[in-house]
Structure 1
Amino acid sequence: MSSSDPESLLQRQAEAWWVRLHSGRATRADADAFRQWTSLSAAHAQAWREVMRVWSALDPLLAEEAARQVSRARPFSWPGLSGALRSPGRRAFLGGAVAASVAAGVLAIDPPLGLWPSVGELTADYRTATGEQRQVALGEDVSLRMNTQTLVNRIGAGANLRGVELLAGEAEIATAGNADFFVETGGGRLQARGARFNIRHTGPQVCVTCLDGRVLVSVGGQQRSVEAGRQVVFDRAGIQDVVRADVDNVSTWRTGVLSFDSTPLAEVIEEINRYRPGKVILRNEALGRTLVRMQLSLRSIDNALVMIRELYGAKVRSLPGGIVLLS
């Protein structure tokens, strides 16, 4: 069906209304406008019923994801919350009572399926949206290049800027001059002067790759000196040994291309989700272990799903909000 067909247009409008009304930001004016939209014709009403049907089928998956996130976030693991999310009468947390109670806690910090911005995204000094890359000049001697889904706060201000805190994501930082520049991230502290380095903090571990110069990495009293062409991985528990880096692979995101060579499909999907709005959900563990070789352009990231379907026999089901199920 062509995207210009009236039926397709109504479906997209209905999907947009669903996301808006269940985002937690809808106003009374939105509700009035929605009621007016559904009453325009029988086709409008039917488009809305179809979107409701699709999202209702997806609802258990959303409840499962919300319960998983609540269980791993100790400060917000309130008694009975997971059970409430699984309750048939209240599991639709996108618009029900559970949403109201959780929105101020874990789901605001770590939104399920990335369906709305987190508190961190809204309050960070610098941030990039999904698929966005951004260059920031932090002064005459420091430049910051941010990859997709990256959150950065300043440490100090103006002439007193001493460094940044990388809350999440990936960034390349270049420093010049004689002053030390500091980066705090994932429980560690980086110190550099006249260096260029890449930091990736997309999970519990942080990977620091030195591209030029030298970076001193400190974690819990341990230190590693990382020279050009070398990298080190650390988490809050400690720091690993410095190893040789695949510099070309580390820097591919700056060229707009992702390359995979004998990479498990589950890891490929995780990387695709960093650059693609919505969420690709892999529902087949055996398929996730399939080794993948492919090269993807970030400008046409959705082509990856077509390639996965054609090359590896995956079944692809598209749902509203950019959610895709692979099985």
Structure 2
Amino acid sequence: MKSGEAAAGEIDPAILQEAADWLMRLHAGDAGPQEWAAVECWRTTSPAHGRAWQRAEALLGDLRQLPPGPARAALERPNARRRQLLRLLWIPALPAGLLAWRQFSVDGERWQSATGEQRPLTLADGTQVLLNTATRIAVRFDAQTRLLRLLEGEILVTSAPDSAPVHRPLIVATGDGSARAIGTRFSVRRADGDDASRVVVFDGAVEVEAGGTRRTVKRGEHVVFGADGPGTPAAFEAGVDEAWTQGMVIARRMRLADLLAELERYRPGLLRCHPAVADLRVSGSFPVLETDRSLALLAATLPVRVRYRTRYWAIVEPA
């Protein structure tokens, strides 16, 4: 490569810093029309600004997949220090952070799915696991236990009978507690941005333990559990919680903002909802693995339009 070409591809660190600042403002979720207009003006000011924005958008997806720890805590902290740490991560420290993510080790065999991917697995004992979008798990089988650690995301587990001479319970553990299968089919979710874990039981039963308390969750029930222990099991809405396993999300008078937040889990980059249409009610079935198609369906049935500022940046706003 010629030196002139190399120089043309370089981006001023100050411009990269500005791109990170703008993207964090939008990522915080409280940006209004003035902020959106301002960042669009900034992005189109010069080719260097456009390249910096593209780089920042691409790196956002990698930041979201950092493992639990100081970097992830910084990403999730909604205050000034959170943004300052993100700025530090974004420019000088991000490559090292990504390297740490690639080298992140947990006890057991690891599996993961990308954003917008669903990945089926069959474990050594015959247990079937479906990884939803942006999910990471670690699997460890030994003489005492069949353990699945849900590091992030959502899984559907269909347990298989244990063929070992001594029974080994099948346990799914998250940072909030654990769920022990009792001949069952169930899902566990601990997605990015969630402040607790959730178990939904489709068949059989699951024993949930958290905060020193145990609850048995039966077929047709779900429960949320965190540091304070599991809540009270309650019936879930049939068809809705299992829809993702068929590649769909079912909305029944759901707020548009909430539906878009769910679709964003399956989509790299930013998907934002204009405050003026956030409370519109939506009913219907929407494909989660084809989010552009889902957005087109919304635009065809609601008084909204979808504006694509870039490939990784879409906003749903009044038509």
Q: Is the shorter-chain TM-score for this pair beyond 0.5, marking a shared fold?
A: yes
Matches within 5 A, 1:22-171: 52=48, 54=50, 73=73, 82=83, 99-101=91-93, 104=96, 119=101, 125-156=110-141, 162-171=146-155
Aligned to 1:243: 234
The whole-number CA distance in structure 2 between the counterparts of 1:223 and 1:229 is 18
User: Match of 2:189, as an amino acid?
Assistant: R
Judged with a 3 Å threshold, the aligned counterparts in structure 2 of structure 1 residues 57 and 166 are, in CA distance, closer, same or farther, namely: closer
> What is the number of equivalent residue pairs in this alignment?
261
Shift in Å, 1:126: 0.6
Structure 1 or 2: more helix by fraction: 1
Aligned to 1:218: 209
1:272 paired to 2:260? no
TM-score (norm 2): 0.67
One of 290, 295, 301 as aligned partner of 2:291: 301
The whole-number CA distance in structure 2 between the counterparts of 1:57 and 1:267 is 26
Q: Is the 8 A contact 2:266 2:289 kept in 1?
A: no
One of 249, 256, 269 as aligned partner of 2:247: 256
The whole-number CA distance in structure 1 between the counterparts of 2:57 and 2:115 is 22
Aligned to 1:182: 171
Structure 1 stretch 72-81 or stretch 317-326: which is displaced more? 72-81
Shift in Å, 1:82: 4.2
Judged with a 3 Å threshold, the aligned counterparts in structure 2 of structure 1 residues 300 and 82 are, in CA distance, closer, same or farther, namely: closer
The whole-number CA distance in structure 1 between the counterparts of 2:76 and 2:190 is 23
% identical aligned pairs: 24
Judged with a 3 Å threshold, the aligned counterparts in structure 2 of structure 1 residues 171 and 274 are, in CA distance, closer, same or farther, namely: same
User: Match of 1:273, as an amino acid?
Assistant: E
Shift in Å, 1:242: 0.6
The whole-number CA distance in structure 2 between the counterparts of 1:59 and 1:286 is 30
The whole-number CA distance in structure 2 between the counterparts of 1:220 and 1:84 is 31
Q: Is the 8 A contact 1:153 1:164 kept in 2?
A: yes
Matches within 5 A, 1:187-198: 187-198=176-187
> Which deviations, in whole Å up to 9, do the C-alpha atoms of 1:77-108 show, x marking residues without a partner?
899784697xxxxx7x8xxx961145546xx5
Aligned to 1:88: none
Structure 1 or 2: more strand by fraction: 2
Judged with a 3 Å threshold, the aligned counterparts in structure 2 of structure 1 residues 316 and 245 are, in CA distance, closer, same or farther, namely: closer
Shift in Å, 1:55: 5.7
Q: Is the 8 A contact 1:186 1:204 kept in 2?
A: no
Q: Is the 8 A contact 1:211 1:247 kept in 2?
A: no
User: Match of 2:185, as an amino acid?
Assistant: R
Judged with a 3 Å threshold, the aligned counterparts in structure 2 of structure 1 residues 126 and 304 are, in CA distance, closer, same or farther, namely: same
Q: The residue matched to 1:130 in structure 2 has which SS?
A: coil
The whole-number CA distance in structure 1 between the counterparts of 2:47 and 2:234 is 50
Q: The residue matched to 1:277 in structure 2 has which SS?
A: coil
The whole-number CA distance in structure 1 between the counterparts of 2:261 and 2:100 is 19
Shift in Å, 1:243: 0.5
> Which deviations, in whole Å up to 9, do the C-alpha atoms of 1:295-315 show, x marking residues without a partner?
212353202222333433334
Q: Is the 8 A contact 2:149 2:172 kept in 1?
A: yes
Q: The residue matched to 1:214 in structure 2 has which SS?
A: strand
Runs of 4+ in 1 over 6 A off after TM superposition: 56-62, 69-72, 75-81
Q: Is the 8 A contact 1:252 1:258 kept in 2?
A: yes
> Which deviations, in whole Å up to 9, do the C-alpha atoms of 1:157-206 show, x marking residues without a partner?
6x776211101111111223253111111311111232111112221121
Matches within 5 A, 1:195-214: 195-202=184-191, 203-214=194-205
Q: The residue matched to 2:264 in structure 1 has which SS?
A: helix
Aligned to 2:30: none
Q: Is the 8 A contact 2:137 2:151 kept in 1?
A: yes
Shift in Å, 1:248: 1.6
Q: Is the 8 A contact 1:127 1:149 kept in 2?
A: yes
User: Match of 2:101, as an amino acid?
Assistant: V
The whole-number CA distance in structure 2 between the counterparts of 1:118 and 1:320 is 29
TM-score (norm 1): 0.65
